[in-house]
Amino acid sequence: MRARTRLAVGALGALTAAGLLTGCGEAGSSGTAAPEQGSSGAGCAPVAGDQLVVLTDDKKLQNTDNVIPAISAKAATPPLVAALDKVSAALDTAKLIELNRAVDVDRKTPQVAAKEFADANGLGQVDKGPGGQVTVGAANFSESQTIAELYKIALTSAGYQVKVQTIGSRELYEPALEKGEIQVVPEYAATMAEFLNTKANGKDAEPVSSPELDKTVAALKAAGDKVGISFGQASQAQDQNAFAVTRAFADKYQVATLSDLAAKCSGKATVLAGPPECPQRPKCQAGLVQVYDFRAGSFSSLDAGGPQTKNALKTGVASVGLVFSSDAALAAS
């Protein structure tokens, strides 16, 4: 569903320290790795269940990928920004999950899901601006398209003539935003900050995003200022990497946070599922080792927050898996 690159499975960077990934093992015929050295505990065997819950990232492994409007500086007038900020103020992660569920599970169109949300959250009541033509760009996944429709509703209410155009990847729409060919795009704070950072400073540039939202947004705005892109208010809605278990697993082992998982479930029976690059990535297994000292007994190479990982959790093949924090599959949790 998602086309954008995730920080959580991004470049390894500084976490290639010797010994960090010791014992990850080679993939076997089952797609799982051998147990990590040092995982001497019993661990927590998978528990099947239909409901998935995200474990709280209490030590802030992940950076802050909050939804935020990106605006061409040429179009960033106070009335336009204020209309977009009203959308940000109405969004949090739970509401974003429900929006995604409406589209991805209930099969409503992004337009219908956005209108229902806008009606329920007063997005049609926005102070009038000077009007004019506005093109809202969207990436080629449903969440971006739904948020773009929310922006359209708020901007239309403010007196603008708005169209939504699905453009594709960030590599395509970001230059159009710089040039003012499109005026607004839904963005994600940490991912966009690193995109602009590496575009300006090279792929090995020191990261500028942070687990602290204010720091990430400050770095994002500084990078945007250099290329003619402004940003509105960051919402409380986050779409970032997270680690999920089944509700049944959480109840059986009494785990609610990643610290709980590390304390109770490091050991041979625990199976971590994620994309093939997860063991080497600083926001995936490598980060779990460094930040939480969580050591799974084995790793199952599947996908990044996709159907394979979620199915492995629900069917009792994996104990914990990498998901996205706004996934519609979490709505019933």
- In this prediction, residues 26-54 reach a mean pLDDT of 66
Rounded average pLDDT over 135-151? 96
By CB neighbour count within 10 A (0-12 exposed, 13-18 middle, 19+ buried), where does 107 fall? Answer: exposed
Mean pLDDT of the chain: 88
Count of Cβ atoms closer than 10 Å to residue 205 Cβ: 14
- Asked if pLDDT for residue 179 goes beyond 50, the answer is yes
Asked if the model's pLDDT at residue 316 lies above 60, the reply is yes
Phi, psi of 326 (to 5 degrees): -105, 15
Q: State residue 236's pLDDT score.
A: 97
Q: Mean of the pLDDT values across residues 33-60?
A: 81
**pLDDT tier for residue 127 given thresholds of 50, 70 and 90:** confident
Domain assignment present for 292: yes
**pLDDT at res. 331:** 59
In this structure, the answer to whether residues 40 and 91 fall within a common structural domain is: no
Provide the pLDDT for residue 333.
Answer: 45
| Domain CATH for 20 | 3.40.190.120
> Does the residue 84 lie in any domain?
yes
Given this model, what pLDDT does residue 126 score? 82
- pLDDT average, residue stretch 300-306: 93
pLDDT tens digit sequence for 158-173: 999 999 999 988 999 9
| Token code pair at residue 302 | 């599947």
**What's the total number of domains in the chain?**
2
Last residue of a domain, one of 177, 209, 231: 231
* Residue-level pLDDT at 304: 87
* CATH code of 163's domain: 3.10.105
Q: Interhelix angle for 110-121 vs 142-157, to 10°?
A: 50
Residue 96 pLDDT more than 80? yes
Instruction: From 167, 198, 231, give the residue that closes a domain.
Output: 231
Q: Are residues 71 and 202 in the same domain?
A: yes
Asked if residue 2 is part of any domain, the answer here is no
The boundaries of the domain holding residue 120 are 67-231
pLDDT (0 to 100) of residue 168: 87
The CA distance from 166 to 148, in Å, is 9
Mean pLDDT of 121-133: 88
Residue 332 has a pLDDT of 52
Tens digits of residue pLDDT in 208-254 = 999 999 999 999 999 999 999 999 999 999 999 999 999 999 999 99
> In the prediction, which pLDDT does 25 show?
32
Q: Tell whether 20 and 53 lie within a shared domain.
A: yes
pLDDT tens, 14-33? Answer: 333 333 333 333 333 234 44
Specify the pTM: 0.85
Together in a domain, 98 and 208: yes
Residues 39, 174, single domain; the answer is: no
3-state secondary structure the chain: CCCCCCHHHCCCHHHCCCCCCCCCCCCCCCCECCCCCCCCCECCCCCCCCCEEECECCCCCCCCCEEEEEEECCCCCHHHHHHHHHHHHHCEHHHHHHHHHHHHCCCCCHHHHHHHHHHHHCCCCCCCCCCCEEEEEECCCHHHHHHHHHHHHHHHHCCCEEEEEECCCHHHHHHHHHHCCCCEEEEEHHHHHHHHHHHHHCCCCCCCCCCCHHHHHHHHHHHHHCCCEEECCCCECECCEEEEEEHHHHHHHCCCEHHHHHHHHCEEEEEEEECCCHHHCCCCHHHHHHHHCCCEEEEEECCCCCHHHHHHHHCCCCCEEEEECCCHHHCCC
Confidence check: pLDDT of 295 > 90: yes
Mean pLDDT is lowest, of 39-43, 49-53, 279-283, for 39-43
- pLDDT band at residue 4 using 50, 70 and 90 as cut-offs: very low
**Quick one: pLDDT band at residue 128, thresholds 50, 70, 90?**
confident
